[in-house]
Structures are given as structure tokens and as C-alpha cells.
Structure 1
Amino acid sequence: MSERSAALLDRPAPGPDALPRRPSPLALPAGLLRTARPRQWVKNLLVVAAPAAAGRLASWDAAGRLALVFALFTAAAAAVYLVNDARDAEADRAHPAKRLRPVAAGVVPVPVAYAAGAALALGAAAGGAVLCNAATAALLVAYLVMQFAYCVWLKHVLVVDLAVVATGFLLRAVIGGVALGIPLSRWFLITTGFGALFMVAAKRYSEAVRMEGAQGATRALLTRYTPGYLRFVWQLAAGAAVLGYCLWALESGGVAAGALLPWRQLSMAAFVLAVLRYAYFADRGAAGAPEDVVLRDRPLAVIGLVWAAMYAMAVTDL
């Protein structure tokens, strides 16, 4: 073997950083999409809540407008996620799970995240004004202002952080009715608002229970909330939501003309069962991901379908 060949054999193999990989052209768009949290878009289906409660889902015009409102609210929510991740990029890099987020990982540059968030926010507000009505645009702007304030400041204020997140869910439920010009019942607002607070407080409670005895917390305020206080909040909110729904159901009186049974009143049983089933997971500290509880628990899904069928028969007078 020649000296040159021996030298080549003795040369250490190139390390993983010797030949840097060229980033894929789709890496940035894919990163932006991941930052927009597609899995969370299911929350925006709440835009159909008010029209469904009023029995206004039968027409193609209503369905098309609601699809538009869903898209606009999804753009607004994505704008908030992008700005939030851009602001928290440094802190996320020190977190074992959040460091994998595209902005924290460097897949999406911080200026690009800010620019995309601003573009989506402006597009959502302008789209609401041009394609819907002024009230819809005002609600979208209110949501964006409130959520950006949450990213910057309000998420560090005790109790207010819970109210802001719950109000975001309430605005989703309200905006569909506003876009279609549907008057909103006070009981609808009470039930939806306290129902949202119930789920938000249950989520925080689950996170607090899991973080007890651990060093640090995924949310800064979790170290200042006690599990006992959060349990009190979700129990209070659950009771208020159940009371509001029962008063809403009883407000309509007895059996409607042509209906077989008082479906609206009977739906109270399914609603209460759904709250009790969800509270079971909250009490165990297993409601940290509400979408997983709702979509993966089969008994809860069945109860939800029964409730939806009863309410559909109530609004159609069957």
C-alpha cells in the first residue's frame, strides 16, 4: 500500500457538519404552516354555533358565508400564533418541546414570522370588512387586538389571562351570528362564555397538576396559580354554564306545535352528561388538550351526537 493510500485510510471520516445540507425549498412554507397550528383550526368551527342554535344552517348562502368567516378567523388565529412564536423564539429554544417549533428551530426566520403574521392579520380584517360586514370586521379586529395584547402582556396577568382566552372562544361563537345578522340570546352568550371558561380553567388545572413538584412550568403563571384555585374556577364555570343552558332550554316553554317531544328541554340531560363527562377528565388532570378529550373519548362523542340530534330536532320542530 502506498503512503498516499495509507494517509487516505487514516484520514477521519467527515463529520455531520462537514457538508451542510441545503434546506428544502418547501421548508419555509411547511414551517409557516406548522406555526399556524392546523390542528387548532377545529376550534374555529365554533363560528357555526350561533347559526346552528337559531336553525339557520339550511341555506347554501348561510353555509357559504360561514365558510368564509371560518377562513377569516383561521387567518386571524394563525396571525396570532406566528407573532406569538416570533416573540417567544428565544425562550422556546430553552424548552425541551417548544424548541422544535419552526421559528425557535430556525426553519422560519423571526422577521418572516412577523411579516406573515402582519399580512394575515391585515388580510383577515380587510376581508371581514369587504366580504362580510362592518360588525364582522370589528369582531375580528377586537380578537386580534386582544390576542396580541395577550402575547405581549395579558398572559402575565393573573385571572385576566383566563378571561382573555375564554373570550377568544366566545368571539368565535358570536361572529357567525353577527355575520348572518342573527340576534344573539343572552342565554346563548352566558352558556358559551362560561362553557369556554370551564374548558380553559380545566386545561390550566390539568397543566398545573402535572407540573406540581416539577421544576419550571410551560406557562409562567402556572407557578402562581394553585390547583385548588383553578379547580374552583372550572367548577364554578361548569355550574354557571349548566344553569345558563337549562334556563335557555326552559325559556322556550313546552312542546312546540308539530313536535313529537320537548326536544330542547330533553337536550338538557345530554348537555349535563357531557359536562360531567368532561369534568371527569378535568378532575384527573387529563384535560390539558381539550381537542384530544373531545375527539378521542368515545362516550363523550356519543353524548355530543345525541345532544346535537336533540337540538337539531328542537330547532326544526320535529
Structure 2
Amino acid sequence: MIGGIIATARPRQWIKNLLVLAAPLASGDLSDVGALLAVGVAFVAFCLCASSIYLLNDSLDIEADRAHPKKRFRPIAAGEVPIAAAWASFVVLLVAGVALGFVVNVLLGLVLLVYCVVQIAYCFWLKHIAVLDIAVVSSGFLLRAVAGGAAAGIALSQWFLLVAIFGSLLMVAGKRYGEIVSDHEAAATRRSLKHYTPSYLRFIWQSAAAIVVIVYSLWTFEGEVAAGGDQRLAITIVPFVLAIFRYCQHIDSGDAEAPEEIAAHDRLLQVLAAVWLIVLFLCLYLP
């Protein structure tokens, strides 16, 4: 049963929680050890909260999962984890995650609390409403980025928030697009997908991709002004845009329904992301 609970908690999805590092990195100040430790705690807290939501979601979707050719093997649907144990684990992980956030500071605790409330509403109701389901899932990525700033005590710029918002929208709209064009089982069991068309979702993810590139570029130009004309940040636009293009290639092919799998297995995307991070780090931290 313990193994089933761990599997339901989706530890492979914890890679998403690395977004808490985005704000400290973009701020240009990674020298504060205390702030970095706080961000590390925020990462753990988000892992606990996100895992609790997976346990709740699978408990509520047990009948639908049993009718799905792939999801019927999930531990709760397969009967490996009793419903009572899943609910108990949900409560324990959620309380532990939110409490851990409040230990760091009140703002982080509130961000985690908002995340949990919104995601619980998603599990019970919002996931069945078209457009709102995309907005709620996107907000989860955004709140991870906001949590990093809250933990480190960093004021987030409007450019950072816009990149986070439209980057999140790109991933979620791409995920739904992949589900509707490639994953016919998901299209049959997820009610909100019945209200989408491939062309509508394509419009959303293409718009989000264009906006995130524009906003990121504007952020680098603003950084140049703040740095007294230092144009190095503009170099990061190249690997950033190429990485976005590469990810859009996956979306267009209909295989972006699992963003974490793309991040884990696409070597070219990993190289582009690494180059972008290295160049960004050098631009922000070298005099």
C-alpha cells in the first residue's frame, strides 16, 4: 500500500516545482544563503501540496479511471490503495506542506494555501469547465514561480510575472492540444475537452508562445537599461526562443500531453535550456 501511495503522489511530477528557483535566478542575487534555503523549503512544501492534490484527484476520479484503458492501472483505481488511506494521505501531505510554508514566512504559506484551495476546487468542479480548467492548471505553474519570490523575499517584476503567466499557458494549452489530437482515451473521459476544438487550442498555445517571446525580450531590454546600457542580456533571447520553438514542435506534433516527459527525454531541449541558463547566469552574475 505504501508503494501505491508513493506512486499516486507522482514524485516524477516534482520537476515542475523547480519553478520556485525562477525568481531568485532572475533577480540576479543567488548569494543569500538564507534565501536559497528558504526557496529549498518552498520546493519541498510544494512537492507535499502537489502530491496531496494528486491523491485527492485520483480518489475522486476512481470510477472514470477504471473506465480508462491506461488510468485503470493507477493504484487507487486498481484497488492497491484503499480510499480511506488515500484521503488520509491527502490531508496529512496538504497540512504538512502548508504548515511548512508558514514556517518560512506568512506570504509563502498564503501562496501555498491559495494553491491548495484552487486545486481542490479544480478537482471537485473546475476541471469540468472549459477555459477555466486551462486557467486553473496554468495558475499552478504561476504560483510555483510566485512562491520562489515569496520564500526569498524578492519583489517580482511585471515582466517576470507575464513570462510566468504565458509560459504556463503555453504548456497547459499544449497539453490539452496533445490530449485532443492524440490521446483519444483522454478526450473521451475528460469532460472539458468536449468543448474544445484543435483549432481553438492551437490559437491559444500559438498566441501564448508569441507573447512569452515578446515579453521575455522586453525584460532583457529593460535589464539593459537598468544596467546602464549593458547589452549582454539580449544574448539570452537566442537560446530562449529556440527552446520555445523546440517545445512548440512537440505541441504541433501532438505529443506534449506530458510536459515533464518532454523535459526529461528531449536532449535538444535540455541542451538549449542549459545554454540559456548558463548564459543568463553569466550575464546576471559576472561584472
Query: What TM bracket, shorter-length normalisation?
Result: over 0.9
Residue aligning to 1:187: 159
Judge conservation of contact 1:46–1:172 (CA < 8 Å) in 2.
yes
1:243 partnered with 2:214: yes
Higher helix share: 2
Judge conservation of contact 2:65–2:72 (CA < 8 Å) in 1.
yes
Larger Rg: 1
1:141 partnered with 2:110: no
Residue aligning to 1:208: 180
Post-superposition CA distance 1:260-295 (Å, at most 9, x none): x73211111111111111111111112121112222
Give, in whole Å, the separation in 1 of the partners of 2:117 and 2:10: 19
Judge conservation of contact 1:271–1:307 (CA < 8 Å) in 2.
yes
Judge conservation of contact 1:277–1:300 (CA < 8 Å) in 2.
yes
Q: Give the CA deviation at 1:256.
A: 4.4
Give, in whole Å, the separation in 2 of the partners of 1:215 and 1:199: 17
Give, in whole Å, the separation in 2 of the partners of 1:268 and 1:168: 25
Post-superposition CA distance 1:41-68 (Å, at most 9, x none): 1100111110011123334323322221
* 1:259-270 aligned within 5 A: 262-270=231-239
SS for the counterpart of 1:294 is: helix
Query: Which of 238, 242, 254 is the equivalent residue of 1:273?
Result: 242
Q: Give the CA deviation at 1:120.
A: 1.2
Distance 1:50 1:138, change over 3 A: same
Post-superposition CA distance 1:169-223 (Å, at most 9, x none): 00001101111110101000001110110011011101111146x7952422222
1:32 partnered with 2:1: no
What amino acid does structure 1 have at the position aligned with 2:199? Answer: G
Residue aligning to 1:233: 204
Residue aligning to 1:219: 190
Give, in whole Å, the separation in 2 of the partners of 1:238 and 1:189: 15
Give, in whole Å, the separation in 1 of the partners of 2:42 and 2:50: 12
Residue aligning to 2:257: 288
Residue aligning to 1:74: 47
1:64 partnered with 2:33: no
Distance 1:196 1:215, change over 3 A: closer
Judge conservation of contact 2:224–2:233 (CA < 8 Å) in 1.
no
Give, in whole Å, the separation in 2 of the partners of 1:44 and 1:252: 26
Residue aligning to 2:139: 167
Give, in whole Å, the separation in 1 of the partners of 2:56 and 2:187: 24
Residue aligning to 1:114: 87
Structure 1, unaligned runs of 5 or more: 1-27
1:310 partnered with 2:247: no
Give, in whole Å, the separation in 1 of the partners of 2:52 and 2:266: 30
Distance 1:141 1:255, change over 3 A: closer
What amino acid does structure 1 have at the position aligned with 2:90? Answer: G
Q: Give the CA deviation at 1:121.
A: 1.1
Residue aligning to 1:55: 28
Query: Which of 269, 272, 279 is the equivalent residue of 1:300?
Result: 269
> What is the TM-score when the length of structure 1 is the normalising length?
0.86
Which moves more between the two structures, 272-281 or 246-255? 246-255
Judge conservation of contact 1:201–1:234 (CA < 8 Å) in 2.
yes
Give, in whole Å, the separation in 1 of the partners of 2:157 and 2:186: 45
Query: How many aligned residue pairs are there?
Result: 287
Post-superposition CA distance 1:34-91 (Å, at most 9, x none): 0100110110011111001112333432332222111111100011011111111122
What amino acid does structure 1 have at the position aligned with 2:13? Answer: Q
What percent of counterpart residues are identical?
Answer: 46
SS for the counterpart of 1:217 is: helix
